[in-house]
């Protein structure tokens, strides 16, 4: 229970610190069940190996590679984020306090859907036969509504996520945009419900102050630290 409260506290704390409020969710029901064998997203497996004559195993999943984009509207000095409901985050927080509740309906009073709403940088899956920069460019348009040339995507880092269990290849980019490139509202494609959010540099800097907490992933913190070190106006870096 202590850990559960800790997790909830983290999310609330983060929102309060960053100055934006979590909006009412449009999610009316959440429930858990078994993963089907033909999942499109996750392929589980076991890797066996012999190290120093000792046989070892590790259970792993194959997931999809991804791109992440630090998006900066330079003229207006705003960083652009996305928010969305992440089932894995919701489940992680939900199961921390009640590890036996892996199946059945979630308790939305104790765990409102908002605890699974993350603050992230723009990004998406590498699920097309295109260059990473082209995929990043498409995500910038689909999620945030900016039409940018591929050349404006600066490569920042390549790394692997979830190295203990999944290890997809991740590529982080930086991209400056201007209002003239804003061609749509963004928000994702199809059934995606992604909220676009602009933050001032001062608000963004609070997200990465020492001691900060987020229910988003490390890529957002990483991208922000890199931005403040390399791109932010010096008075704020």
Binding of residue 162 to a second copy (CB under 8 A):
yes
User: First-to-last CA distance in the chain?
Assistant: 39
Rank residues 21 and 211 by Cβ distance to a second copy and give the closer one.
211
Site string for a second copy, 123-152 (x = CB under 8 A): ------------------------------
* Angle at the Cα of 165 from the Cα atoms of 160 and 166, rounded to 5 degrees: 50
Bridge partner residues of 70 (DSSP): 174
Closest contact distance (angstroms) between CB of 128 and a second copy is 12
206 binds a second copy, rule: CB under 8 A: no
Contacting a second copy (CB under 8 A), which of 31, 100, 179, 185?
A: 31
197 binds a second copy (CB under 8 A): no
Give whichever of 163 and 180 is closer to a second copy, judged by the CB atom: 163
* Residue pair 181/147 in contact by the 8 Å Cβ criterion: yes
Buried b (16+ CB within 10 A) or exposed e, 139-152: bbbbbbbbebeeeb
Q: Stretches 36-44, 69-77, 178-186, 198-206: which one binds a second copy (CB under 8 A)?
A: 36-44
Q: Give the DSSP letter of residue 69.
A: E
């Amino acid at each position: 229970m202590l850990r559960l409260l800790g997790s909830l506290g983290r999310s609330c704390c983060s929102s309060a610190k960053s100055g934006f409020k979590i909006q009412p969710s449009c999610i009316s029901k959440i429930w858990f069940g078994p993963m089907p064998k033909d999942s499109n997203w996750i392929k589980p497996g076991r890797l066996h190996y012999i190290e120093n004559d000792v046989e070892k195993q590790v259970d792993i999943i194959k997931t999809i590679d991804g791109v992440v984009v630090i998006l900066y509207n330079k003229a207006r000095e705003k960083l652009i984020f996305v928010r969305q409901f992440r089932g894995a985050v919701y489940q992680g927080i939900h199961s921390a306090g009640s590890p036996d509740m892996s199946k059945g309906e979630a308790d939305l009073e104790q765990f409102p859907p908002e605890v699974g709403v993350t603050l992230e940088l723009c990004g998406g899956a590498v699920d097309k036969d295109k260059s990473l920069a082209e995929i990043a460019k498409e995500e910038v348009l689909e999620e945030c509504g900016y039409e940018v040339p591929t050349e404006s995507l600066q490569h920042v880092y390549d790394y692997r996520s979830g190295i203990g269990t999944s290890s997809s290849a991740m590529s982080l980019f930086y991209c400056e945009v201007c209002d003239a490139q804003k061609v749509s509202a963004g928000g994702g494609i199809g059934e995606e419900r992604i909220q676009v959010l602009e933050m001032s540099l001062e608000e963004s800097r609070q997200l990465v102050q020492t001691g900060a907490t987020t229910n988003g992933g490390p890529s957002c913190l990483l991208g922000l630290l890199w931005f403040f070190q390399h791109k932010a106006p010096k008075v704020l870096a």
